[in-house]
Amino acid sequence: MDVVRFKNAFLIPSEKPGRYIFYAPLRNQLFWLSEDAAQVLRDHLEEGAPIPERYRLLQDRIDAVLAKEEQGVRPSTMANRNRLVILLSQICNLACPYCFAHEAHSNEIIDRDTLSAAIRYVLAENQSAQKRFIFLGGGEPTATWELLTWAVDYIREQSDGQRCKISVVSNGTLLTESRILWLKEHKVHVGLSFDILPDVQNRQRPFPDKRKHSYDKVAAALELLLANGMNPSVRSTITPDCVTRMPEMIEHLHAHFPGVRGMTFEQVSQDGLEKTDYYDLFFDSFFKAREIAERYGIHLRNSTTTSVLFPKERACSGELCLTPTGSLVACHRASSVRDPLYDRFLLGSVDTAVHIDPERFERVVSFSNEKREACKTCFAFWNCAGSCPNNRTAYSEAQFEALCRFTQRMIRHELETALDRASKG
């Protein structure tokens, strides 16, 4: 039996033989059904067939579920103006082949007038709201250290008591002890992009001069961050090269960096994955790694598994992302004019003030709200919500279908895990 959809509720065949899942995300309902009960329910929902007396309990439960009012999903503001993603430059001291900015690297650096105008704009919006400033890698933010520290000081100076969270996502190779202490003193959270195993890190995150290795530098930075109680988050990009090694990565993390409590393994965006067993290997390896991580008290995440916790109306509400040339884009992965999707995500520009083009803004909203035809009947609809708009444009149909099968498998597994946990109490 295929997936059945009825009034935003789904009957989903489980990966476990003979079992089905009833899932109504907007009514916060999730339970197991036997194959027989699922068949009865399908006939009832799709064809109006009466539910036999021996399934009285099922009838009562379904009636109660469908009578419940649907909860709306959390509203999400497009290109939230309380949050600024900042790409200080396109300069990077590493040459990672999978970096979104790999093709776009140049020597462009944002100028201080433009940067300060964008910061003031965000601080002036809705002054009671917490503000977030994220210095993202892609250009490595610590490669322009003076500019980074100037910008952090400027935010703190201008914020005038407003609540502000500042974070830096770094490749970690330029984080010396004095820089780490500076970041600590200025309450800047650090996220490290780090591929954990020495051979994987040195291969996937190389210096342009291949004789120099990045692992030792990042490992030293991570140790310093931990020793200074900075609770860094760590994110690894999982390529076909290391896809079977996630359990080993967790073992290594625990053995060498025991203070890390939050870890993210994210699938790579790369051509040709759909022709390989990459996604199946990712699934097996990720969940094995997660079992190990749980034993060590490490919270292992992936954007797909996390999406189960937060039903949403659209996959991405876009960003307010300031690029090194002073343009504003809704997606940091399309931040250079050399990126073919740049024009699609362009929102406006900054000089001495911020200019958001209303027409471009509306175009990004409607593009972000678009779904694929297949989404309408997909049980992952409220979790995946149509997938990342950048991928939706960049991927071929075959690539996208492979990604959808993977997303659905990951989400179904999360639902089954939640049910198993609930039944164990």
Stretch touching ligand SF4 by CB under 6 A, among 35-43, 225-233, 281-289, 367-375: 367-375
Supply 394's token pair.
Answer: 């960049």
336 contributes a contact to ligand SF4 by CB under 6 A: no
149 touches 135 (CB < 8 A)? no
DSSP one-letter string for 199-265? HHHHHHS--SSTTS-SHHHHHHHHHHHHHTT---EEEEEE-TTTGGGHHHHHHHHHHH-TT--EEEE
The candidate with the shortest Cα–Cα distance to 338, out of 96, 71, 90, 121, is 90
How many other C-beta atoms lie within 10 A of the C-beta of residue 47? 7
* C-beta of 256 vs 409, nearer to ligand SF4: 409
Distance CA 256, CA 223 (A): 9
Closest separation between CB of residue 367 and ligand SF4, Å?
Answer: 9
Distance CA 36, CA 33 (A): 8
* C-beta of 142 vs 407, nearer to ligand SF4: 407
Stretch touching ligand SF4 by CB under 6 A, among 233-241, 275-283, 356-364, 376-384: 376-384
The number of residues that bind ligand SF4 (CB under 6 A) is 19
Closest separation between CB of residue 408 and ligand SF4, Å?
Answer: 5
Q: Which of 121, 194, 279, 381 forms a contact with ligand SF4 (CB under 6 A)? A: 381
Within 399-418, the residues that bind ligand SF4 by CB under 6 A are 404, 407-408
Within 295-324, the residues that bind ligand SF4 by CB under 6 A are 316, 319
73 contributes a contact to ligand SF4 by CB under 6 A: no
Closest separation between CB of residue 401 and ligand SF4, Å?
Answer: 8
109: Cα separation from own chain's centroid: 26
Q: Which of 4, 96, 136, 384 forms a contact with ligand SF4 (CB under 6 A)? A: 384
364 touches 345 (CB < 8 A)? yes
Q: Which of 42, 131, 333, 344 forms a contact with ligand SF4 (CB under 6 A)? A: 333
Buried b (16+ CB within 10 A) or exposed e, 279-296: beebbebbbebbebbeee
User: Is residue 161 exposed (0-12), middle (13-18) or buried (19+ Cβ within 10 Å)?
Assistant: exposed
Closest separation between CB of residue 133 and ligand SF4, Å?
Answer: 16
* C-beta of 257 vs 406, nearer to ligand SF4: 406
**SS3 state of residue 4:** strand
380 contributes a contact to ligand SF4 by CB under 6 A: yes
40 contributes a contact to ligand SF4 by CB under 6 A: no
* C-beta of 211 vs 376, nearer to ligand SF4: 376
166 touches 208 (CB < 8 A)? no
Q: Which residues sit at the interface with ligand SF4, rule CB under 6 A?
A: 316, 319, 331, 333, 372, 374-375, 378, 380-381, 384, 386-390, 404, 407-408
